[in-house]
Every structure is written in structure tokens, then in C-alpha cells.
Amino acid sequence: MPVCHRGRVPELAYREAGPSTGPPVVFVHGYPESSFMWRHALEAVGRAGWHGVAPDLAGFGDSEPPGEPATWEYHVGALERFRREFGLDDAVVVTHDWGVMIGLRWACDNPGVARSLVISDGGFFADRRWHDIANVMRTPEEGEKLVEGFTREGLEGLLGQLSRGMGPDAMEEYWKGFADERRRRGHLELYRSGDFSKLEPYEGCVAALGVPVLAMWGAEDPFSSARMADRYVAEIPDAERVVFDGAGHFIWEDEPEATGRALVSFLERRVGRS
């Protein structure tokens, strides 16, 4: 069985699995996770002969926070720098939560970097609205109180309510994103830069890329309804959807084997190795 290896390029740490000569699959994690969320998916694609690479976004996991505001735009640019440093061309891009916003914007800004897209539990639509926790983070003073007040026990309790698949090892990894004041401030910078109106110029851009698309969703996602998966299918020609009954927002944690099988099946059927 392939083992996930750790590494680092100048800006970001990462995990990888599978043969370095295999076709690349880039995984972009969401909030408040890190590349650790992709551990099972990395193993799955690695076993199938693909080269899976998952960076820790700046300020999360083992990546240092940036010296500038950790905005949506910063993370998009950092992902492109990571791709160039790593030499990843013509990659499948797999995204979740905030990783959808970052990964799809990156793919649209750099046509040709993505040969296929996998979108999970996150929207890329200008008419979206933020959920309650995000609205608190986007509000001055209230957001500061929220992130400053997070304790490890509190985070463990919150994520434990949202996912049945997060154990102590996951909490150990995800707490790294709260390790100091600079990292916590980066959470606010990310959410406060996340104005959905910025997506108005991107309307139709994912469909225009003309690449195979798979939407994967948890049927019980409390933040992004599974109806959003239907919207991707309606707006993107030949897009596919897979909805996991009983899974919530964190499908890669809740259904590690089923998500891995669905991902590899899609890669083999719709993408191919050439």
C-alpha cells in the first residue's frame, strides 16, 4: 500500500502518495483542516497509479502563515506558485469546502492547469450566502472574539459534532492552524476577503474549461446543501454527481473508503492517464 510522504517547497508543506511518474492529482483542502484530510484519498489514488499531491495551505498544517494578509487571493496565488515549484502540469484538481473557492478560482485564472475537477461540499456561485459561523468571522470584533476564544477542547467538540470520522489524530493535525495569533488572524483574513460578488466575472468559467467534472457531496451537509451538487450538474455539461447518504460536510473523513472508490472510478472512466 502506498504511504503518504511529507515534503516542503519554499512556501508550502505537502503530503504526497503514488509514483512520481503517475498523472498528477492536486488536492486542495478546506477550513479548518489541512492536507491530513486527504490521507485516505491520497492512498487510494496512489494505489491506482496516480501521483497525489496535497499542500497545506499557508497557516494550516505544517505550512507557515504568510507575511502578508492570508486572503482568498493570496491562497490562489500561492497554489499557482506551488504548482510551478512542484512542476505539476495538466493535473486533476480535487477540492473541498474553502478549497473549492480557492481551487476553482485558480483553475479559471490559469486555463490549462486542470484537466479535470472534483468539487466537494463547496459552492462557486456569486449568489451564495455565508453560513452563521462565517458571518461571525466576517464581522469586526465578533470574529476576533471567536477565533481568540477557540480552545482545543472546543474545536474537538465542534468538529466531533460535524463529523463521525475525525479522531484524535485529526484533531492533533487541525489544531496546528490555531497554534498562534498570526494563524488565527489568517482565518479572519480569509473569510473577510470571501465576498461572493468577486465570483460574478467567473460566471460560466468552470463549464467553459471543458474538462470532466465530478461533484461529491454529503447528503446531510449543514453548510452547503446537496442541492448545490445538482446545480453543478445542471450548469456544467456532462458533469457527474455522487451523494453519500448519512455523510455530513466532511465527506472525506466520514466516508473514506467510499469517497476514495468514487474518486478513482471517476479518474479511470472520465479522465484517463494520457
- pLDDT one-digit tens code per residue, 188-223: 999 999 999 999 999 999 999 999 999 999 999 999
Report CA-CA distances (Å) from 182 to 102, 135, 187: 20, 20, 9
Interval 150-184: pLDDT, tens: 999 999 999 989 998 898 999 999 999 999 999 99
Confidence of residue 252 (pLDDT cuts 50, 70, 90): very high
Confidence of residue 6 (pLDDT cuts 50, 70, 90): confident
Report CA-CA distances (Å) from 271 to 116, 122, 207, 211: 7, 22, 16, 9
Could you tell me what percent of the chain has a pLDDT over 70? 99
d(CA 103, CA 165): 24
Q: Give residue 141's pLDDT.
A: 97
Average pLDDT of span 59-86 = 96
Interval 46-57: pLDDT, tens: 999 999 999 999
Rounded to the nearest 10 degrees, the angle between the axes of helix 39-47 and helix 256-266 is: 40
Confidence of residue 274 (pLDDT cuts 50, 70, 90): low
Confidence of residue 81 (pLDDT cuts 50, 70, 90): very high
Note whether 179 and 222 are within 8 A (CB). no
* Residue tagged 489544531 (cell numbers): 175
Nearest Cα neighbor of 36 from 66, 67, 57, 65 is: 57
Nearest Cα neighbor of 11 from 72, 66, 76, 70 is: 66
Q: What are phi and psi of 19, to 5 degrees?
A: -70, 135
Nearest Cα neighbor of 171 from 189, 150, 186 is: 150
d(CA 75, CA 66): 10
Average pLDDT, the chain: 95
Q: Give residue 185's pLDDT.
A: 97
Structure letter (DSSP) for residue 270: I
Note whether 35 and 7 are within 8 A (CB). no
- β-strand 51-55 against 13-17: which pairing, if any? antiparallel
Partner residues linked to 241 by β-bridges: 215
Q: Give residue 9's pLDDT.
A: 85
Q: Give residue 4's pLDDT.
A: 76
CA–centroid distance for 96 within its chain: 3
Q: Identify the CATH assignment for 5-271 out of 3.20.20.70, 3.40.50.300, 3.40.50.1820, 3.40.50.620.
A: 3.40.50.1820
More confident residue, 187 or 11: 187
72: CB partners within 8 A, 6+ apart:
101, 102, 105, 190, 193, 194, 198
d(CA 70, CA 68): 6
Note whether 88 and 53 are within 8 A (CB). yes
Partner residues linked to 7 by β-bridges: 14
Q: Give residue 2's pLDDT.
A: 58
Please state the domain extents for the chain. Answer: 5-271
Q: Give residue 273's pLDDT.
A: 79
Could you tell me what percent of the chain has a pLDDT over 90? 91
User: At residue 1, does pLDDT exceed 50?
Assistant: no
More confident residue, 167 or 232: 232
Evaluate if pTM is beyond 0.95: yes
Nearest Cα neighbor of 129 from 192, 195, 216 is: 195
- What would the grid cell of residue 157 be? 467538540
3-class DSSP assignment, residue 26: strand
